[in-house]
Structure 1
């Protein structure tokens, strides 16, 4: 023991060091708790931007919603970055369309499932139909969002899964959001039916860029004459015989317009137009992706209203090239 040290001083120093260590431990626990709160903010990852819009309306401010697909992208071909792929496996819930739609992203969804992340394949849960014709005949059709009644069901499904799997959300708030948005979708259905009822039954014939409006046709009484790309995916290509067969069908049906997705070049539709002897318009629709803000279809509700107006105008008997069957 040194000359300046006494048992009393040593005890006081020891108590001071112990107190300092205890305070440091409290501070570390506090910092760790804050970090944990930030890291565990509820997170929902959604693959496509149409489903992203539905999910954001359901979730509101209750969780972070990350949408992988950019505006004006093609759901059949878009890819994700490494950070986006990581966000899928770190989510509290992954919402995807399923039925083979997100062809380049499904492996990341499967990896998240294997890691124990809850997932919701919305298209598989809203009574899907199958393609009636073309290269995809009898395969399940993933384009359910063209039927707003199925979208209303999808909204309820998303709300149920958010409440069940996403920690920390206010269940009542999520339920209220889903109910309010579901009412808007129901109103949309009524408005669309009113608009389409003005089109004579004989004029309700659709030719599209690829098979995308089967659900709309079923809900509102349209007949699908055919598609320029006779498949459920934009990644397929038509043959010369496919175009010839479709041109013949168009002439026989007296089709007024070909509807092409606004996010894709309408070159094939223009080629088909030249191949047929019937005068037809090529009308752009927002069929598979929302647009950037302010570009006409930046929400699901705006997209469906824009498409309804375009179809109603394109098939109107007031157009000089439209003729009854």
Structure 2
């Protein structure tokens, strides 16, 4: 083979390789453009508690990816986050959290995300929070984080979360977010009307609440209940009652003629059952879903189902 012919073959081979490379590059561009046209990576919203997670998902719909840190049936006062979840907080476009001290082991991670430039929204502080002393609860003067037991405050929170998503999360359709929020607001309004009608069945002298810990202050304020007390003092499940606390509560129950205690379904009922011995028997312990949603099919796998289940249990417990 002559030197000229060899050179020509090399040039042909090089041209073919270049053509193949150009074809591959063009295909990559087309695929990349298709991914972008299909939406690509969605914006990310991270929510701390599963109750707020459900509410936020109703508002956001398909406009963004919503990650919820708290697992079903967990205690918001004691649950923590993994290193992976902590990193998710700092990569989020928006962090939605309850605040007012509820997520005791997570708030420092939320603060770290805020310091790194992530937008954060403390819902509890934005819905006219009560203090524990305002409804006769223990821990007077401390902010009560359990605002979700009042559906009207959840309606307020719904509009505020929608505002935050539209303001801070790039790429979402604001019109769709507003439509979702309005639709959910109507469901919440229906819930409040139904709860009012249900609680109207309870005689005035029986509208008295004793709970495992102070969690229903907002419900009491909204629907006209008296909070007699709680087995665990204050607003956190991490506290423990003293013998003096239990004695004070049993005296209050005797004075009010109350023999029904409502205990959170995610907490042991042992402390509530102690009251049965203190009061000489006849105490009923009724479980409620107060601080955490259940897994799907567990009876309270959404905020609306949780509130309806609790309303039914409370009404039956106080009228039976």
Common topology (TM > 0.5): yes
Question: 2:106 is matched with which residue?
Answer: 105
1:124 aligned onto 2:90 = no
1:261 aligned onto 2:278 = no
Q: Secondary structure at the match of 1:53?
A: helix
For 1:143, which of 142, 146, 160 is the aligned residue? 146
Task: String of CA shifts for 1:173-204, please: whole Å, max 9, x gaps.
Answer: 11111111110000000110111111121111
Question: 2:65 is matched with which residue?
Answer: 64
Q: Secondary structure at the match of 2:177?
A: helix
Contact (CA 8 Å) 2:138, 2:229: kept in 1 or not? Answer: no
Question: 1:77 is matched with which residue?
Answer: 78
1:281 aligned onto 2:284 = yes
For 1:221, which of 224, 229, 233 is the aligned residue? 224
* Pair 1:134–1:241, CA change in 2 (3 A): farther
For 1:309, which of 312, 316, 319 is the aligned residue? 312
CA distance in 1, matches of 2:41, 2:95: 15
* Pair 1:301–1:207, CA change in 2 (3 A): same
Question: 2:54 is matched with which residue?
Answer: 53
Task: String of CA shifts for 1:208-238, please: whole Å, max 9, x gaps.
Answer: 0001000000000001000000110000000
Question: 1:4 is matched with which residue?
Answer: 4
CA distance in 2, matches of 1:186, 1:38: 34
Task: String of CA shifts for 1:276-298, please: whole Å, max 9, x gaps.
Answer: 14732111110000111111111
Q: Secondary structure at the match of 2:189?
A: helix
For 2:252, which of 249, 254, 262 is the aligned residue? 249
Question: 1:322 is matched with which residue?
Answer: none
Contact (CA 8 Å) 1:72, 1:291: kept in 2 or not? Answer: yes
1:192 aligned onto 2:195 = yes
CA distance in 1, matches of 2:235, 2:167: 33
Listed as ranges, the gaps of 5+ residues in structure 2 are: none
Which shows bigger deviation, 269-278 or 183-192?
269-278
CA distance in 1, matches of 2:230, 2:75: 17
Contact (CA 8 Å) 1:130, 1:140: kept in 2 or not? Answer: yes
* Pair 1:134–1:178, CA change in 2 (3 A): closer
Task: String of CA shifts for 1:52-96, please: whole Å, max 9, x gaps.
Answer: 110111111111111111110000001122222211111111111
- Matched residue pairs, number? 316
Question: 2:41 is matched with which residue?
Answer: 40
CA distance in 1, matches of 2:265, 2:228: 20
Q: Secondary structure at the match of 1:315?
A: helix
CA distance in 1, matches of 2:33, 2:83: 28
Q: Secondary structure at the match of 2:4?
A: coil
